[in-house]
Structure 1
C-alpha cells in the first residue's frame, strides 16, 4: 500500500469518527422533553330540575279564611325550599266535574306533587291518581286513599271547642248562632264541638244553625248571619270561608269569631278570637317526602 493510499484511508476513518461524534452530540442536545399531560376538564354535574308543586283551591286566595291559609302554606314552602321547587295554584275550582279537569291538567303540566284543598275533590283525585303513578296527590279533609294519594287535615274541632267556651261565657241571651257550609262530617263535628264547649261553662246555651250549602258565598253568609242575629243570637260562629259573618256581627253590634285565618281586621269590635290553621308544617313535610 502506498503512502498516499494510507493517508486517504486515515482521512476517511477520521472523518467517520468525527461525524459519529457530531451525530451523537446532536442527539443528546435535541432530546425532546415529554409534554405535561393536559389538566382534565372540569364537568359540572347537571343541576336537578326543581320539584313542581301545584295547589287546587276551592275559593279565592283573598278570601281571608280557608284558601288564604292554604296559600300562606304555599308561600312558606317557597321560603323553605327556594329554587329547589316551583309552585303554582288555580283558585276558584268548584267541587264539580271542573275539579277533575283542572287537577288532571295540573298533572299533565309536569307537577309531581298536587294538593287538593277541599273535601269535594276526593272522588276526582281518586279517579285521576291511577293515571299518573309518578305524581303524589294530597287531599285535604278526605278519607279515601290510593297508592299515590293520601289525606291530611287539621284538628279544627279543638279550635271550635275553645271558641265555644268563650261564647258560652260571653253570651247574654244564651243563644248562639252558627253559619255552616255543607253538612259533611267535619263541619258537623265542629258545630258539635262549639256547642259542647259553650255548654261546658253555660248549660243554658242553645245553638241555632243556618246552612248556606257552599264554602265561599259572602252574600249568603251575610244573609245567614243576619237571620241568626234577628233570631236572638248574640254570638256567632262560622264554618265558612269568608269574613262575612264577622263583618255582619260588627255591623249589627254583636260578637263573632274568625275561622281558619286571623280575621281581626274585618271586625275588630265584634271579634272574640280566630281559630287559625297553620298548614306550613305539613306542606313542608309532604314536600320533603316527595
Structure 2
C-alpha cells in the first residue's frame, strides 16, 4: 500500500470513528448515571426490596451503573456513604432513619452529589432529598378488607419500630377497619427490629392466643404465624400471596419506580435539588396500590368489596383523603 493511499484512508477512518461514537448504544453507555445504594438490612427485606427492584430495573434499561451494599451496620453507614460519594457516584440512595445526623453531614460535605434518602426529616439544601413509603391510601383499603373478613372483631398488628413511616400506615389501616366495623379491637406490638421474622412470629402468636383472627403483617414472620394457626393476614409493601395463598387476603403495595425515575431524570438534567419525594408513593402517581385479591377474590364479602372500590375511587379522584397520623398507635383490645 502506498503512502498516498494510506493518507487517503485517514479521513474515512476518522469519519467511521465519529459515527461509531455517535451511535445510540455508545451514547447511552456514556450517559449512564453512577448510582449507589446503602441498606441496613438484606435486599429481601420488604421495604428495601422495593427500592432495590426499582434501581435494578433502571440498570436493566441501561440508564444507570448500580452498586449496592446490604446489611450495613449503623456504625458503618457514614463510612460507606463517604466511599460511594468519593467513588464518583452521582446519586446515592438509602435509608437514614437511624443515622440521620451522619447522613446529612456527608451530604453537606459532597454538595455536588445527589442524595435520596428514606427519612423522617425534611429535605436539606442543596442536595439531600427525602422519600417515604406514603402508602397509607392502600393501607386504609386493606383495613376495610381486614374488618370485613374478621369473625372475632379482633385484629393483631405487628410493626418494626414506632416511627412515622410505620405509624401512619397502621393508623390508616385501623381507620379503614373502623369504617367497616366501628367496634373492631386492635392489639398493637412493635418488635424494635426491621428484620427479625422469629420475633415477629412470636408476637403474632401472642395476638392469636388473645382472639385475633386477622393479622396486619407490617414485618416478615407474621404471615407465617397466621398460616400455622389457620388465621388470615394482611400484607404490607409487597405482595406475598403467592407464598401464602390461603393466608394473605390483601396487601398494600409500594412501587418505588415513580420516585426513582423522577430522581434519575432530575440528576441527568441537572435539576436535582433538596425536595420531598414522598408524595410520589401515593396512588395517583402509581406509587402504591391495593394488590389484586387473587385467591381471595371470591372470599371477601361482595358488600365489603363494593365499599372498598367506592372508597378507592374517591381516593383517586381526590374526593376522600386518608388522614396522616404519625403518632404511635395504641392497642384498643380490652
TM, length-normalised to structure 2: 0.70
1:152 is matched with: 131
2:172 aligned residue (183, 188, 193): 193
SS at match of 1:265: coil
1:224 is matched with: 203
Asked which structure has the greater CA Rg, the reply is 1
1:111 is matched with: 89
Query: What is the Cα deviation at residue 139 of structure 1?
Result: 1.0
Query: What is the Cα deviation at residue 154 of structure 1?
Result: 3.0
2:226 aligned residue (237, 245, 249): 249
Q: Quickly say closer, same or farther: Cα 1:212–1:157, change in 2 above 3 A.
A: same
1:61 aligned residue (40, 43, 48): 43
Deviations along 1:102-127, one digit per CA (max 9) or x if unpaired, are 21222122211000135334322201
SS at match of 1:115: strand
Q: Quickly say closer, same or farther: Cα 1:185–1:79, change in 2 above 3 A.
A: same
Name structure 1 gaps, 5 residues minimum: 1-36
RMSD of equivalent CA atoms: 2.1
Ranked by relative contact order (alpha carbons within 8 Å, sequence separation 6 or more), the top structure is: 2
2:235 is matched with: 258
In 2, Cα distance between the equivalents of 1:139 and 1:105?
Answer: 16
In 1, Cα distance between the equivalents of 2:183 and 2:248?
Answer: 23
In 2, Cα distance between the equivalents of 1:186 and 1:53?
Answer: 24
1:10 is matched with: none
2:184 is matched with: 205
1:99 is matched with: 77
The answer to whether the aligner puts 1:72 opposite 2:53 as a matched pair is yes
In 2, Cα distance between the equivalents of 1:260 and 1:119?
Answer: 18
SS at match of 1:144: coil
SS at match of 1:167: helix
Q: Quickly say closer, same or farther: Cα 1:125–1:118, change in 2 above 3 A.
A: closer
Does the CA-based 8 Å contact 1:126-1:144 persist in structure 2? no
Query: What is the Cα deviation at residue 191 of structure 1?
Result: 1.5
2:215 is matched with: 236
Query: What is the Cα deviation at residue 152 of structure 1?
Result: 1.6
In 1, Cα distance between the equivalents of 2:169 and 2:141?
Answer: 11
SS at match of 1:114: strand
Query: What is the Cα deviation at residue 49 of structure 1?
Result: 6.2
SS at match of 1:178: strand
Does the CA-based 8 Å contact 1:57-1:118 persist in structure 2? no
1:138 is matched with: 116
The answer to whether the aligner puts 1:51 opposite 2:33 as a matched pair is yes
Aligned length: 249
Q: Quickly say closer, same or farther: Cα 1:194–1:118, change in 2 above 3 A.
A: farther
Q: Quickly say closer, same or farther: Cα 1:61–1:148, change in 2 above 3 A.
A: same
